[in-house]
């Protein structure tokens, strides 16, 4: 696979077998051998006899999770859909098939995925390995809840079928296990039948963080909910947000709100893209403040209206701009995502937002979501609130994030591994009590020294 075809930043290196590779945040960039098998059997063969190896899907993890310390195996060639049973809605696909592929094929036939992240450009293997969460985690759980089974290649070459009934401990440890239990070759997912592919959206304005959390709490029965926070607002407006609630629209909703619309509209293609040499300095406090103001006013004007929204911009707004990660310039950026247990969420998130707004370089909008209980021992979610924001890499950023980490640790929270590029071992270990279960499994399967990503080496997993 040519390096240029890989998302994240890939550059040629002086050693022809190795390239410089990064995650979606373009930080850090490290050297690795890159292999691109075309079949599950080929992927399994690449594991044999290798150490310091990990799988890579679409490279949408922000940091160093999908880069092997020696070798990275791209699953993009494992892109076949194998079978679909309309009666049970069970779909079997290879691990490199993306959520975009599945929605393009099945949304017109009246099926969706019950759990989707904020971008559709992730692979099924990456979705399982992160046990990713959507805007409905508090109600429906993580991606693992729609996974019936998968086949996992172990470092020694053995291929095991895993489900809640078969090799159950390995199944659970692989959810959120960040590729460190084995390589997922293919998986069977259960799709969600839908009457239309529109969302019935209800927008609410929250003047500050307290009001945003009140809104999310009082609408906990809504299927989807998310608050977009203006993280530059300060004082009494700290945490001012637009809260979006949504349900899959029924035929009846569509007849009432958009009778002229086709029930299953096609995906929207991205029309804009950010050039490779976009200068990072264009992103300054004034431009971000102006953007946030405009965004907030536009959203506030929709308050109180029930509207039908196309599934693509509702779930995947950032996908409309290709390569948007380039706006942070060459040094890249870090996406900071923490979860704070319910009991401490209001106090600690206010403290975090206050520090971030005073610092003034968090970009655009932060995202606040409610989470329910986690799936596997290494899954990120715990019952509480998760806050996500992008911060450009600078000389002072990491010391600042260490301060935020201390607040998170103190509150019994944790940071999301799929976004992480810099947390310390102490922060990580205090947040993930399920780590012992993952380490045990890695010991038993011989993965400890064989399956090693830059993330797992950094965190001592």
Q: Which residues bind ligand FAD (CB under 6 A)?
A: 24, 54-61, 65-66, 75, 95, 117-119, 122-123, 125-127, 129-130, 132-133, 178-179, 183-184, 318, 418, 453
Neighbours of 323 (CB within 10 A): 14
Determine the Cα–Cα distance for residues 205 and 215; give it in Å rounded to an integer: 9
Q: Which is nearer to ligand FAD, 59 or 77 (CB)?
A: 59
Q: 98, 43, 91, 90: which is closest to 71 by C-alpha?
A: 43
Considering only CA atoms, which of 38, 176, 33 is closest in space to residue 95? 38
Return the sign of the alpha-carbon dihedral for residues 378, 384, 390, 391: negative
Q: Whole-angstrom Cα distance, residue 131 to residue 148?
A: 13
Residues of the chain by 3-state class (helix, strand, coil), percent to 5:
35, 25, 40
Nearer to ligand FAD, 55 or 147 (CB): 55
Q: Which is nearer to ligand FAD, 37 or 239 (CB)?
A: 37
The C-alpha angle 384, 174, 94, rounded to 5 degrees, equals: 115
**For 182, phi and psi rounded to 5 degrees?**
155, -175
CB-CB contact of 314 with 199 (8 Å): yes
Nearer CB in complex with ligand FAD: 19/58: 58
CB nearer to ligand FAD: give 94 or 230: 94
Least CB distance to ligand FAD at residue 232 (A): 20
Rounded to the nearest whole angstrom, what is the least distance from the CB of residue 80 to ligand FAD in the complex? 14
Strands (E) across 295-418 are located at 306-310, 321-322, 333-341, 365-371, 384-392, 414-415
Letter string b/e over residues 277-288, b meaning 16 or more CB atoms within 10 A of that residue's CB: ebebeebeeeeb
The least distance separating ligand FAD from the CB of residue 235, rounded to whole angstroms, comes to 29
Judge contact between 196 and 253, C-beta under 8 A: yes
Q: Which is nearer to ligand FAD, 254 or 332 (CB)?
A: 332
CB of 123 to ligand FAD, least distance (A): 3
- Closest approach, Cβ 310 to ligand FAD, in A, equals 18
Minimum CB–partner distance for residue 60 and ligand FAD (Å) = 3
The nearer residue to ligand FAD, 192 or 261, going by C-beta atoms, is: 192
Q: How far is the CB of 102 from ligand FAD (least distance, A)?
A: 13
Measure CA 324 to chain center.
Answer: 15
3-class secondary-structure state, position 283: coil
Q: Within a 10 A sphere around the Cβ of 266, how many other Cβ atoms?
A: 12
Residue 386 DSSP symbol:
E
Q: Which two tokens mark 408?
A: 């998170």
- Nearer to ligand FAD by Cβ, of 208 and 363: the residue is 363
The distance of closest approach from Cβ of residue 168 to ligand FAD in the complex, given in angstroms and rounded to an integer, is 18
Residue 59 contacts residue 19 (beta carbons within 8 Å)? no
Nearer to ligand FAD, 127 or 334 (CB): 127
CB of 326 to ligand FAD, least distance (A): 13
């Amino acid at each position: 696979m040519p390096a240029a075809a890989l998302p994240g930043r890939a550059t040629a290196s002086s050693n022809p077998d190795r390239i410089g590779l990064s995650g979606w945040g373009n930080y850090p960039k490290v050297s690795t051998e890159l292999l691109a098998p075309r079949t599950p059997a080929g992927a399994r063969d690449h594991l044999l006899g290798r150490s310091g190896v990990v799988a890579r899907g679409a490279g949408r993890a922000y940091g160093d999770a999908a880069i092997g310390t020696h070798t990275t195996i791209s699953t993009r060639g494992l892109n076949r859909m194998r079978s679909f049973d309309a009666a049970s809605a069970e779909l079997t696909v290879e691990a490199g098939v993306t959520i975009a592929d599945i929605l393009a094929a099945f949304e017109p036939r009246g099926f969706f995925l019950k759990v989707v992240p904020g971008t559709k450009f992730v692979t099924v293997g990456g979705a399982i390995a992160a046990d990713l969460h959507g805007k409905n985690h508090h109600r429906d759980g993580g991606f693992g809840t729609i996974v019936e089974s998968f086949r996992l290649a172990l470092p020694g070459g053995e291929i095991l079928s895993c489900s809640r009934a078969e090799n159950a401990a390995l199944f659970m440890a692989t959810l959120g296990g960040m590729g460190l239990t084995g390589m997922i070759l293919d998986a069977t997912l259960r799709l969600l039948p839908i009457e239309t592919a529109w969302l019935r959206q209800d927008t609410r304005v929250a003047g500050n963080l307290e009001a945003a959390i009140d809104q999310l709490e009082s609408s906990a029965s809504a299927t989807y909910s998310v608050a977009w926070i203006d993280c530059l607002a300060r004082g009494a407006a700290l945490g001012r947000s637009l809260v979006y609630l949504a349900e899959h629209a029924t035929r009846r909703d569509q007849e009432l709100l958009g009778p002229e619309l086709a029930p299953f509209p096609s995906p929207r293609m991205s029309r804009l893209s950010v050039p490779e040499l976009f200068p990072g300095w264009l992103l300054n406090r004034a431009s971000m403040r102006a953007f946030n103001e405009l965004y907030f006013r536009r959203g506030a004007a929709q308050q109180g209206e029930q509207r039908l929204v196309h599934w693509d911009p509702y779930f995947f707004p950032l996908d409309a701009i290709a390569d948007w990660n380039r706006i942070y310039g060459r040094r890249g950026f870090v996406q900071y995502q923490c979860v704070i247990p319910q009991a401490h969420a209001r106090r600690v998130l206010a403290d975090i937002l206050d520090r971030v707004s005073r610092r003034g370089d968090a970009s655009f909008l932060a995202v606040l979501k409610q989470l329910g209980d986690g799936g596997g021992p290494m899954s990120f979610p715990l019952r509480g609130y998760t806050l996500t924001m992008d911060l450009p890499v600078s000389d002072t950023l990491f010391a600042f994030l260490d301060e935020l980490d201390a607040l998170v640790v103190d509150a019994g929270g944790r940071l999301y591994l799929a976004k992480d590029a810099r947390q310390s071992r102490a922060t990580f270990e205090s947040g993930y009590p399920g780590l012992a279960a993952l380490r045990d499994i890695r010991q038993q399967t011989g993965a400890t020294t064989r399956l090693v990503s830059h993330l797992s080496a950094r965190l001592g997993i």
